[in-house]
Structure 1
Amino acid sequence: MLGGISIWQLLIIAVIVILIFGTKKLRNMGGDLGGAIKNFKSAMNDDGDKKDTDSDPKSLAQDQNNTMNKDADFSEQKDKDQKHS
C-alpha cells in the first residue's frame, strides 16, 4: 500500500508500545480511558434528559406550579406561627 499503514507496521508499533509501557500499565490506561468514556456518556445523557424536561412546556408549567404551591404553604405556615406568638 502506498502511503498507508500496513498490518505489519501496526503490529511492530504495538510490540514497541508494549515493551515501553508494559501490559499492566496499558491495562490500567485502558480501564481509565473506558471509565472516562462511560462517565462522559452518562453526563451527556443526564444533560440531555435535563434539557428535554426544561424545554417541555408541560413540565415547566408543573415545576412553576409546584414552586408557587410551596411558597404559598410557607407563607401560610409563617402567618400561623406569627399569630401564635
Structure 2
Amino acid sequence: MGSFSIWHWAIVLAVVLLLFGRGKIPQLMGDIASGIKNFKNGIKDGDDASGQDPHGADV
C-alpha cells in the first residue's frame, strides 16, 4: 500500500474542489468553527450552572 505521494493529494484536492466549489469550502469551515465555538460556550455555561438546582436556587 505505502504512503500517498504528492500526486495522490493533488488529485484528491482537485476532486474536492470540483465537488464543493471554491466558495463552498470556506463557508463549510466557518460553519464548523461556529459550531465548535457554540459547543464550547455550552459546555462553559453548563459548568457555571452546575452549582444550581433545576429551580434556580443555589445549592
Same-fold call, TM > 0.5?
yes
In the TM superposition, 1:1-85 aligns within 5 A as 2=2, 4=3, 6-8=4-6, 9-51=8-50, 53-54=51-52, 59-60=58-59
Residue in 2 that maps onto 1:71: none
Which has the larger share of helix?
A: 1
Identify the structure with bigger relative contact order (alpha carbons < 8 Å, sequence gap 6+): 2
Structure 1 unaligned spans of 5+: 61-85
TM-superposed deviation, 1:29: 0.9
Larger Rg: 1
Aligned sequence identity (%): 30
One-letter amino acid matched to 1:26: I
User: How many pairs are equivalent?
Assistant: 54
Structure 2 unaligned spans of 5+: 53-57
Change (3 A) 1:10 1:49: farther
What's the RMSD between the two structures over aligned residues? 2.2
